[in-house]
Structure 1
């Protein structure tokens, strides 16, 4: 492995760095985007129970806010629960944009790595082929082993770049899909909270069977 890295030349360094960064982002996003942490079950039900018992004070709202991404959105609405439906909805939407930005953190970097690493590999191949043609100009084509070795060396960076880019692109699309699914779930729960708090849905619907 070390010999392949060494044979690929200096462009193998940024490709390897990209692979390390991509792996770190993938591990961090797997940990951060756990559904049970982002979208806990029955949170609206628990909020309604606190509200019906007149226990929904500022301390409880702070606990809800700190508990999850969904809780942060719902807490913004609960602070404005005595205002109109429109005010409550707008507060949730404003906070929701910040929450979604947090869920999408580092995904742009992951997409950039997926796009850049093949280009780095291609650049390495082009530079390697330039060296090969330089050898041909100086020594001719009388030594096939030298030419074959130079060409294989030139292609190493392309193989390395694609090896990093392909799984990175797959993870980028996977995390985008997961974020979209979580956002839809949070929007549904936020709408449910507004309907419950504003009396547009029966309280019994928020209770677990």
Structure 2
């Protein structure tokens, strides 16, 4: 514990900022893992149930079921049913517009996570600069012959550089991962919504 406190002190004012960013990044990652579960975005049995109701001519029951399931998939399928009777291209455009709105919702906090990934190395570099400045200041005061005088500044430079990378690398990895997840999930629910359109029109797949 004492060693950690010593490292914290050696890290200068940049290290607490990096620790704060690390905590925020962990919170965002945990939140997105919870929100972007496939069962929460597209419940497995919802699309087949709605398709069966539509094929049976029970459109109102299908609409009621979708209203009761407030999920991204349900919202897109609801758009498809509400546009029943319109040309297929119009329905498809409405679904894609709703899909873009869902992307904006599912992307929530991801831009901030990406910003953390970009800012953290810069903060680490800033700490490095200050550490080197402190090291040169120590040389100016006691000369280059006393390594202990340089240790604090060099430690600050190394600690902040490493901390910045430690925060940035996982943040960037998870940012890219979640962006891919969002794109894949939205594409999947758009396809499911278009299946409803095909069922209504008696057409084939996308």
TM-score for both structures, normalised by structure 1: 0.88
Alignment correspondent of 1:184: 187
1:97 counterpart = 2:100: yes
Q: Work out whether residues 15 and 161 of structure 1, in 8 Å CA contact, stay in contact via their aligned partners in 2.
A: yes
Which of residues 76, 79, 104 is equivalent to 2:79? Answer: 76
Alignment correspondent of 1:7: 10
* 1:7–1:149 CA distance, 2 compared to 1 (3 A): closer
Q: Work out whether residues 135 and 151 of structure 2, in 8 Å CA contact, stay in contact via their aligned partners in 1.
A: no
Q: Work out whether residues 21 and 116 of structure 2, in 8 Å CA contact, stay in contact via their aligned partners in 1.
A: yes
**SS in structure 2 at match of 1:83:** coil
Shift of 1:62: 5.1
Alignment correspondent of 1:207: none
Provide Cα deviations, 1:68-126, integer angstroms capped at 9, x if missing partner: 11111111111111222222222212211101111111111111101101110110110
Which consecutive aligned stretches of 4+ in structure 1 deviate over 6 angstroms post-superposition?
Answer: none
> How far apart, CA to CA, are the structure 2 residues paired with 1:41 and 1:91?
23
Q: Work out whether residues 10 and 152 of structure 2, in 8 Å CA contact, stay in contact via their aligned partners in 1.
A: no
> How far apart, CA to CA, are the structure 2 residues paired with 1:62 and 1:126?
62
- For the aligned residue pairs, the C-alpha RMSD in angstroms reads 1.9
TM-score for both structures, normalised by structure 2: 0.89
Shift of 1:3: 2.0
The count of aligned residue pairs is 201
Which of residues 33, 41, 44 is equivalent to 1:41? Answer: 44
> How far apart, CA to CA, are the structure 2 residues paired with 1:42 and 1:200?
22
Structure 2 residue ranges without an equivalent (≥5): none
Which of residues 101, 109, 120 is equivalent to 2:112? Answer: 109
> How far apart, CA to CA, are the structure 2 residues paired with 1:43 and 1:201?
20
Q: Work out whether residues 54 and 62 of structure 2, in 8 Å CA contact, stay in contact via their aligned partners in 1.
A: no
Alignment correspondent of 2:142: 139
Which of residues 163, 167, 171 is equivalent to 1:164? Answer: 167
> How far apart, CA to CA, are the structure 2 residues paired with 1:130 and 1:113?
25
Alignment correspondent of 1:128: 131
**SS in structure 2 at match of 1:67:** coil
Structure 1 residue ranges without an equivalent (≥5): 203-209
> How far apart, CA to CA, are the structure 1 residues paired with 2:65 and 2:107?
24
